[in-house]
Chain A
Amino acid sequence: MSVNEVTWQPKILVFACNWCTYAGADLTGLSRLQYPATVRILRVPCSGRINPQFVLKAFQKGVDAVLVAGCHPGDCHYTTGNYFTRRRFLIMRRLMEYVGLEPERLQARWISAAEAPKFQQVITEISEQIRALGPNRKLRDEEWKI
């Protein structure tokens, strides 16, 4: 699929842990809180399951931003998973800066199963941020056309 500036809409991939953020996104729906249709949610058991290589792969495939989201620190269903996520995320952001990818394209948030308004707010904010930042042209497999 060719991509271009005119029809471009941000495409944001959300890795959501099954216990907190995925449930929080469900609650956002149940509460009918509206947010931009820019995100696609991918369910993983724990945010600690998210390999930084998945994130790189997503950028390669043309995703404009990745949100890593899980339980609040201390609330991980698997006790310690999100602590590892937090460390990996910080290193990954530095790596992105180093190789010249906008670090804003990778975001992490702790969103509990009860925080529907937070989920709505986070998605809205990131969508606007990425819209301002423009499409992800680096690292992607296919050529960018104007």
Chain B
Amino acid sequence: MKRVGVFVCHCGTNIGAVVDCPQVAEKAMDFPGVVYSVDYKYMCSEPGQEMIKKAVQEHRLDRVVVASCSPRMHERTFQRCVEGAGLNSYFVEMANIREHCSWVHAGEPEKATEKAMDLVKMAVAKVVKNKPLQKATIPVTDRALVIGGGIAGIQAALDIANAGHVVDIVEKEPSIGGKMAQIDKTFPTLDCSACILTPKMVEAASHPNINLLTYSEVEKVEGFVGNFDVTIKKKARSVNMDVCTGCGLCMEKCPKKVDSEFELKMSKRRAIYTPFPQAIPNKPVIDRENCTYFNTGKCGICSKVCPAGAVDYTQEDEYLTRRYGAIVVAIGFELFDYSVIGEYGYGKYPDVITGLHFERLVNASGPTLGKIKRPSDHKEPKNVVFIKCVGSRDPAKGKSYCSKACCMYTAKHATLVREKIKDSNIYIFYMDVRTPGKGYDEFYNRTREQYGANYIRGRVSKIYQQGERLIVRGEDTLLGRPVEIEADLVVLATAMVAQPGAGQLAQKLGIGYDKDHFYTEAHPKLAPVETHTQGVYLAGACQGPKDIPESVAQASAAAAKVCGLLSKREMLTEPIVSEVNESICAGCGMCVAICPYKAIELKTISERIQGQTVERQVASVNGGLCQGCGACTVACRSAALNLKHFTDQQILAEVNALCL
């Protein structure tokens, strides 16, 4: 028989003025298992806690019930208290007689007292069935994985590496750098993107704690916080990285020309290539789909000219599995492919381009060497029309959100056109101008006032070709009249969308994503970089549209979380997890399907039955992954699963007690 002590708190007058606490304490002595009970003014105070500890020793109590406030308030306090008295910290239960009783039944003291007695009875019935639970420790692997080598991934990796932890960056492209490498200037300072990005890329590549795994993808993720086993596919580069010196001779001699992805098909690259001149690592890969040697077996020029003998046509995809303590997901965004909508003539007229095309056109190392020229006839445009919210804030196109960076980069584009083409005219069609951010609104005002960009509030209804020019028809809703502009170039601020593979990666990692496939954070306000999977963090635009400063800030925040985790050799896990009674588990697997954390697997056990060894399948709970929701316990057909501290028996004991 358990020896339960009941401690009824007055909480000053908060409880005491309504509930007859001495009477509750007296009544508690009638409940099965209770050997001691007492009431006191403030149970959570130092003397109150001392009182509990003393009573535990004097009356040899092995279970404690504190009837006071909400367990959400003081459960930890009393757990520590009984631990101090030499009991397991899970041997205490609280009856909430303040928030759920005295405060809500202030006018009915008798009924409140009766209810308080019921609540104590329920707590007593539960506590006698409480089992000792121990927080388990799991080792933490001191190595982090950053998925995505854009600015967010680079920043996160640098911060983690500078704190003394080893980091691997996995990047699917042949070079790190991401979208920021394609951008020309950055708002609101107009400093050159490459000038601030490339030093960071070099720093990451040369950092002793950082390993770059470019041209690689995450294949499989297993395990849990502190111990993720990640399989990474290193795609065959066809170039031996250890031998290649990055001289670039192969790229010069390669006869096969292909549209450059980095330049958005506005110029050509070779079949053996680096995406851009400042690529890191600055060693080429062979694009096997387009390479003449891989298609016909003839050519092989790159191999012949390579002075280092680094070209290796026989290279194969390589898989490596490494263990990581934490993962940062920073896979960034993609631009909405507006040609599927077909509106504004995008995909039909070559002079209707996206903002990213414009970045390349205005960039000194871009296809036009920084001279703004129309893609169709390479003439300098005089009238440039910008259209904002192309796809964004448009539920009809399936994107109801604001892409956030477009207002600012369109203003930036306008100033760049005006700086490079003095006699140009700028027309910007907008729904709203949203420029919150340090120095942002000032920049926007400068674009209008100093650079003379014409902002037209309204939507464009139609764009069509007339001669060499594009006729842009729209409406000025402020003046209430239609407008028609003869444009040489139209730039669309297309929506930022999630990476095409975002959903698949989320499933591998067991993290959530929203209707737009942007990853969901654990809490929109208080846990903005965490995910629901412990040990997996978010950085940058994969969580939602962001500009560079925001991505960098979030990356550093994620890095801080990773460092906090990796700075410990081992971590404590919550013991309130599901457990399996293997002897009655039928191995049906219902629990495997219902678990939101992939914490349950089927495993094979062998048993001796009547002298014979029989193998069968049973469920097995991974305590590191289980978060203790208890969904599996209800799904279990044979009642083999139970949630510790909230067992079927404990809950039913409470139900019983309530009705006695």
How far apart sit A134 and B105, CA to CA, in the bound complex (Å)? 22
Establish whether residues A48 and B634, one from each chain, have CB atoms under 8 Å apart when the complex forms. yes
Which one of B206-214, B333-341, B625-633 contacts A? Answer: B625-633
Verify if B521 is at the interface (C-beta below 8 Å from A). Answer: no
Q: Which residues of B contact A30 (CB under 8 A)?
A: 99, 103
Q: Is A46 at the interface (CB under 8 A from chain B)? A: yes
What is the total number of residues of chain B having a CB less than 8 Å from a CB of chain A? 46
Chain A residues close to B by CB (< 8 Å): 1, 11, 13, 18, 22-23, 25-26, 28-30, 32-35, 37, 40-46, 48-52, 54, 57-58, 61-63, 77-81, 84, 88, 120
Any A CB within 8 A of the CB of B646: yes
Q: Is the interface of B mostly helix, strand, loop or mixed?
A: helix
A45 touching B576 in the complex, CB below 8 Å, given contacts A37-B105, A54-B651? yes
List of B residues within 8 angstroms of A80 by Cβ: 596, 631
Minimum Cβ distance to chain B for residue A115 (Å): 15
Across the interface, do A32 and B576 meet the contact criterion of CB distance under 8 Å?
A: no
Chain B residue with Cβ nearest A31: B103
B70 at the interface (CB under 8 A from A): yes
Q: B656 contacts which chain A residues (CB < 8 A)?
A: 57, 61
A130 to B512, CA, bound (A): 40
A-B contacts, 10 of them at CB < 8 A, read A28-B99, A29-B98, A40-B119, A42-B651, A44-B651, A45-B628, A49-B631, A54-B655, A78-B596, A80-B596
Instruction: Report the minimal beta-carbon distance from B17 to chain A, rounded to whole angstroms.
Output: 13
Q: Which of A28, A52, A78 contacts B631 (CB 8 A)?
A: A78
Interface centre among A11, A49, A52, A57 (most CB of B within 10 A): A49
Q: Which of B576, B651, B659 contacts A11 (CB 8 A)?
A: B659
Complex CA distance for A40 and B72, rounded to whole angstroms: 17
Q: Known: A11-B658, A26-B70. Contact between A46 and B98, CB under 8 A?
A: no
Q: Is B83 an interface residue (CB 8 A)?
A: no
Q: Does B614 contact A (CB under 8 A)?
A: no
Given A49-B631, A81-B629, CB of A29 within 8 Å of CB of B646: no
Q: Which residues of B contact A35 (CB under 8 A)?
A: 104-105
Give chain A residues whose Cβ lies under 8 Å from the Cβ of B627: 78
Asked whether any CB of chain A lies closer than 8 Å to the CB of B71, the reply is yes
Name the residue among B72, B73, B660 with the largest chain A CB count within 10 angstroms. B72
Interface digits, B416-441 against A, CB 8 Å rule (1 contact, 0 not)?
00000000000000000000000000
Tell whether, in the assembled complex, residue A22 and residue B631 are in contact, meaning their CB atoms are under 8 Å apart. Answer: no
What distance in Å separates the Cβ of B119 from its nearest Cβ neighbour in chain A? 7
Question: Is there contact, CB below 8 Å, between B634 and A49?
Answer: yes
A29 to B112, CA, bound (A): 13
- For B635, what are the chain A residues with a Cβ–Cβ distance below 8 Å? 84
Of B71, B112, B630, the residue contacting A48 (CB under 8 A) is: B630
Across the interface, which residues of A come within 8 angstroms of B633, CB to CB? 49, 51
- In the complex, what residues of B have CB within 8 A of residue A77's CB? 629
Partner of B99, one of A1, A25, A50, A78: A25
